Every structure is written in C-alpha cells, then in structure tokens.
Amino acid sequence: MITIYKRDHNGNPVWHYTGEVIQRTSNMICIQARFTGKAERVDIGVMVFERGDLMTEWFYSDRYYNVFKIQAHDDGRLKGWYCNIARPAQITDDAVIQDDLALDVFVHPDGRISLMDEDEFASLRILSVERQHALKAVESIRQQVKQKQSPFDECHNQASKS
C-alpha cells in the first residue's frame, strides 16, 4: 500500500487516500485505488464519479500532470481519464505527494477533450514559469490522446463498442 497526498498550489493538504502499487519506474508510479469520496456520487459536469469506481493512476516526477483512468464500479466500463495539471510528484517508497494547479483535462472515452477550471487556474498566484509548464502539460496530453499513446491508447475504440 502507498498513500497519495493531494495538496493545493500552496502545499496545503486537501485530501489523502491509499492505493496499491501496480508499477514503478525511476520517474513514474502507477497505482490502483477505489474512489472514496465523501458523497456517493460527484458530478463534475463531464462525468459522474461514484463511490467504488476503480481508478488506475499514473504519477510522474518529471511531468506537470497526473492521469486517472476511471472505470465504473459496477461493470468496469471506461468512464474516461481525469488529468490533474500539477507540479511534478514527489514519489517515495510509501507516499506520493502532488501539488494541484487547479487546471484539469478530462479525456472522454471517444477521445474528445474537455478543459476544466480555467478561471481558477488563471487566478492562481504561481510563477510564470510554472504557468507555462502547466499549459505545455495540457498540450502534451492533447498530443498523447491524438497519437493514442499510453495511457490513452484505448481512446477512440470506445465509440465503436457503443
């Protein structure tokens, strides 16, 4: 088990939970965890998180984002990928610590992309170099989706299964 600590852009604790390590490299860790939100359902506009949804999560120590693949708790159906634009993760033997930069990218199963929380991101007091890294991270995600690179290699296949 490993504990994941989400902090805001100032490093203040927001949320923590545990997961199981699936894979680890020198600059990445992949974990699996279940969604354990305070509410049974959390509607984020583009998708609804439900308690028990399976999250496969990739955290990187050299990228300004993380990726959560979300699968429905009842039938395993792919709901999409939720990408937090965040400072590179601090990964230790027993913890992942990541500072969220408010901007989020949601990748729908058919490959469509929704950019979220742009106003909140614009109002953050962060260094201009961090803002540039964050915007480059959004473009990097867009390119990975377009090229069907892992972890987005299931994109576009879902539309034909419907």
Percent of the chain predicted with pLDDT > 90: 91
At which residue do the structure tokens 């199963």 appear?
109
* b (16+ CB within 10 A) / e for 13-49: eeeebebeeeeeeeebbbbebebeeeeeeeeeebbeb
What's the whole-model pTM score? 0.93
Q: Supply the mean pLDDT for the chain.
A: 93
**Local confidence band at 19 (pLDDT 50, 70, 90 cut-offs):** very high
What pLDDT does residue 159 have? Answer: 38
The domain segmentation of the chain, as residue ranges, is: 2-161
d(CA 140, CA 68): 16
- pLDDT tens per residue, range 112-138: 999 999 999 999 999 999 999 999 999
Q: Find all residues with CB under 8 Å of 30, minimum gap 6, and list them.
A: 21, 22, 23, 24, 56, 57, 58, 59
d(CA 77, CA 48): 13
Pick the CATH number of 2-161 from 1.10.3720.10, 3.40.640.10, 3.40.109.10, 2.40.380.10: 2.40.380.10
Is residue 145 classed as helix, strand or coil in its secondary structure?
Answer: helix
CA distances from 65 to 39, 72, 73, 74, 158 (A): 25, 23, 24, 28, 24
**Local confidence band at 109 (pLDDT 50, 70, 90 cut-offs):** very high
